[in-house]
Amino acid sequence: MKSVSVVIIGAGPAGLLLGQLLRTSGIETVILEQRSPDYVLGRIRAGVLEQGAVSLMRQAGCSERMDKEGIVHHGTALMVDGEMHRIDFRELTGSSVLVYGQTEVTRDLMDARAASGATTIYDAEDVSLSGLDSTRPVVRYRKDGVEHEMACDVVAGCDGFHGVSRRSIPADVLKTYERVYPFGWLGLLSDTPPVDDELIYINDPRGFALCSMRSQTRSRYYIQCGLDEKIEDWSDERFWDALQARLPDAHQSRLVRGPSIEKSIAPLRSFVAEPMRYGRLFLAGDAAHIVPPTGAKGLNLAASDVYYLWQGLKDFYHHGKSDGLDGYAEKALARVWKAERFSWWMTTMLHRFPDQPAFETKMQKAELAYLFSSRAAMTALAENYVGLPY
């Protein structure tokens, strides 16, 4: 039976980032991924990085392209009732965010791992975990019809919401918390210049919209849609018309239309699984929690999980101390729940809910009016958006 220090389940950004950070610390890892590299790179996800995530990419030695191509944003705009309100991150917090697509983060990490010679096994089927409550868990999988197994010290479950890691925790141990929202985001990616230099969040009677970007020549736009919508019913022209109708007047003429590269509908949910540790299994990223994308926290929460786990593993292997691993779940969850709160708050404040009672509508307007009239409220938004400290 093959033996390795750490087996990482999942070659998304969380698993790859953890693998690179552990490699810089001299800790051996094997990454198992059930999909192909092309499939992993085909996922279109987030594009806003907190400074913590940026710092981890640099510490992992994977920041050269990010530092060259990433776009620094010192603020963002919220449009309500046709009026634009800018939240100045730099003035309110002294910090900023970096716009750099999750696909590009994954590509950089994937390339760095391949160059290092570290082992990543793609198309690994029927992955199963056993002995998690022992000191030597065993990971089994099938590759090209051949069965394999590995013994390890630690399993890092970075395999997303539908992965095997969380499902391997006994049902009487695992507790989950969930809020499913009654709408989705219809997203379109196009090789067109963005409509503004910064992101614009829009609360409109027709529904929420977000104007985002991946670069100066690639835009990512979203509009709120019903859960019963079908992507085939949305032509590019229909999408552009719906988006333009929600834009502020000054930006409607700036919108550059073009053919979609990718178009999809994503449901919104808030989800947390506790505990994030079971024996020698440690959950990280979407395997443990999901946030609605409104607050740009999904990838960034995965990065903070990775940071806590990396620190714990360094102490475990270099100093024989287990305190960091023992405290991992508590530290990670404390930050997770703060991000869940912020993402829930942004979502409820900026979306129009189906059959929303008049009282709730008034409360939403009052919340927004207070936000724009209070420096303290705007600072709280900015602090959470740029990222709470690790």
**pLDDT tens-digit profile of 230-265?**
999 999 999 999 999 999 888 999 999 999 999 999
**What beta strand segments (E) does 275-361 contain?**
277-278, 281-283, 289-290
Q: Are strands 138-143 and 277-278 parallel, antiparallel or unpaired?
A: unpaired
Cα→Cα distances 350→12, 224, 345, Å: 29, 10, 9
Q: Per-residue b/e over 19-31, b at no fewer than 16 CB within 10 Å?
A: bbbbbeeebebbb
Q: What is the pLDDT of residues 141-177, one digit of tens each?
A: 999 999 999 999 999 999 999 999 999 999 999 999 9
Which is the CATH superfamily of the domain at 2-72+97-179+269-351? Answer: FAD/NAD(P)-binding domain (3.50.50.60)
According to the model, what pLDDT value does residue 82 have? 85
Q: Which residue has the tokens 């791992």?
A: 113
For residues 86 and 374, give the distance between their C-alpha atoms in angstroms, rounded to a whole number: 13
Catalytic residues, which ones?
73, 201, 293, 297, 385
| Cα(52)–Cα(389) distance, integer angstroms | 8
**pLDDT above 90 for 1:** no
Q: In the block, which residue shows the tokens 């634009």?
A: 84
pLDDT of residue 250: 87
Helix (H, G, I), strand (E, B) or coil at 269: strand
- Whether the full predicted model's pTM is greater than 0.85, yes or no, is yes
Q: From residue 283, give the alpha-carbon distance in Å to each of 36, 115, 228.
A: 22, 26, 32
CB 294 within 8 A of CB 350: yes
Q: How many whole angstroms separate alpha carbon 99 and alpha carbon 112?
A: 21
Domains in the chain: boundaries = 2-72+97-179+269-351
Given a cut of 90, whether residue 126 has pLDDT beyond it is: yes
* 8 Å CB contact between 130 and 137: yes
Q: Of all helices (H) and strands (E), which one includes residue 115?
A: helix 102-116
On the question of pLDDT at 44 being above 80, the answer is no
- Give the tens place of pLDDT for each residue, 301-356: 999 999 999 999 999 999 999 999 999 999 999 999 999 999 999 999 999 999 88
Which range has the worst mean pLDDT, 6-20, 41-55, 201-215? 41-55
